[in-house]
Structure 1
């Protein structure tokens, strides 16, 4: 039976790698995006994966977007909550707007998406939810109080929701990537990367988006039904939770 997967923030970086990995594992995949229309169009054209635009922080927009996606692909069996933003600032300079934007997308967005697929998963007796958190949700990070709080919240949501879904055949797990070789990390000056970041990573390199994608494929599989409420730390040994 071919399962249907939706990946939020799925047209760039880690999300794109996850979507491609699921497609290659024979899932029927759709991706959500919100901002970069050009990048989304390019990704969808190159991969053949359909894209659907909505803002995950808006519950009504999620409902409408999921309606379109399910009409095209069928009911959602696998949900990967990958969409995320940053609005970094030291706390004494952080504005309510910066706080609310990050909490809205990175935490409330996960609630919105989970809530809208949850009833269907319960009725069908099967579901796989994978929440992409962050190493900074585990250990915190200077200048990212908003981001760290949201990503830590994703882990708490994962653990609680996993308990509610267990008897209904729904697993809920989190992945916490460390430094991954994406566009965001590529914008870090090479000197900072070489002198300050890589020395903190015992394996001595950045992770790849594809490594996160392979972990998602495992968690989404039929055979992963006994793994729920877990947090996978994929960070090269930088932090042990």
Structure 2
């Protein structure tokens, strides 16, 4: 059964992997046997993650990637495919940003910025990867959404709209790419990262948020990464178009 979860012989590209969940996913993929291209807008942060993977005995390289830039996306997926001997098996669209404001004060610029990175970036990177994804049943597109995209949020209508858009993209990807035996799924995680720092450090917000989590605590990024290994592996070969919350029970 353990062989079902191995990623040996496969290549992966992870966006927004300079820290947080992305770094944990890249590290977990390498530990499962994949060769990984660690990408981030901050190339130094990506390189630090790749260096740690290599030091631990894994295989990884780093690249700068602004997911809204089509030329950079093409260059990155080609580098990742080269690492895999011409094939890119796994694409993880994790890159994200926040620009919070209550709806009456949300500017068009903030709204478009968050949608461009989340929805536009997922579209751009996945489309660039398509020529390199195999038709042998090992092709995986794994997107990152959020509870905000499932049930809405307060103070971040741009983020909620973007994460809901990713769910729509995921389901549409799944239907179109099934003819090539490529699966597309999404994970809706909740973890202690820089993006959730305000929720965790503000006393009132922290208390309110923890009250909504049945397990009563924040996950570490490492606890989230196993779900991404599962979706990338043969164990999930017959799952596509699904959204899996990994959030301590926040969305039930």
Normalised TM-score (structure 2): 0.88
Per-residue deviation, residues 166-195 of structure 1 (Å, max 9, x unmatched): 2321010000113x1113333442523552
Q: For this pair of structures, how many residues does the alignment match?
A: 238
1:197-236 equivalences under 5 Å are 197-236=209-248
**Of 7, 22, 26, which residue of structure 1 is paired with 2:14?**
7
**1:28 paired residue number:** 35
> Does the CA contact (< 8 Å) of 2:13 and 2:39 recur in 1?
yes
Structure 1 unaligned spans of 5+: none
* Secondary structure of the corresponding residue to residue 50 of structure 1: strand
> Does the CA contact (< 8 Å) of 1:122 and 1:165 recur in 2?
no
**1:174 paired residue number:** 186
**Of 43, 48, 59, which residue of structure 2 is paired with 1:42?**
48
**1:154 paired residue number:** 166
**2:24 paired residue number:** 17
Task: Confirm or deny that 1:57 pairs with 2:64.
Answer: no
Normalised TM-score (structure 1): 0.92
> Does the CA contact (< 8 Å) of 2:145 and 2:164 recur in 1?
yes
Structure 2 unaligned spans of 5+: 1-7, 55-59
1:180-191 equivalences under 5 Å are 180-187=191-198, 188-189=200-201, 191=203
**1:136 paired residue number:** 148
> Does the CA contact (< 8 Å) of 2:43 and 2:62 recur in 1?
no
Rounded to whole Å, the distance in 1 between the matches of 2:151 and 2:206 is: 21
**Of 68, 74, 77, which residue of structure 2 is paired with 1:66?**
77
Rounded to whole Å, the distance in 2 between the matches of 1:185 and 1:125 is: 35
Runs of 4+ in 1 over 6 A off after TM superposition: none
Q: 1:93 to 1:186 in 2, by over 3 A?
A: closer
By how many angstroms is 1:94 displaced? 1.4
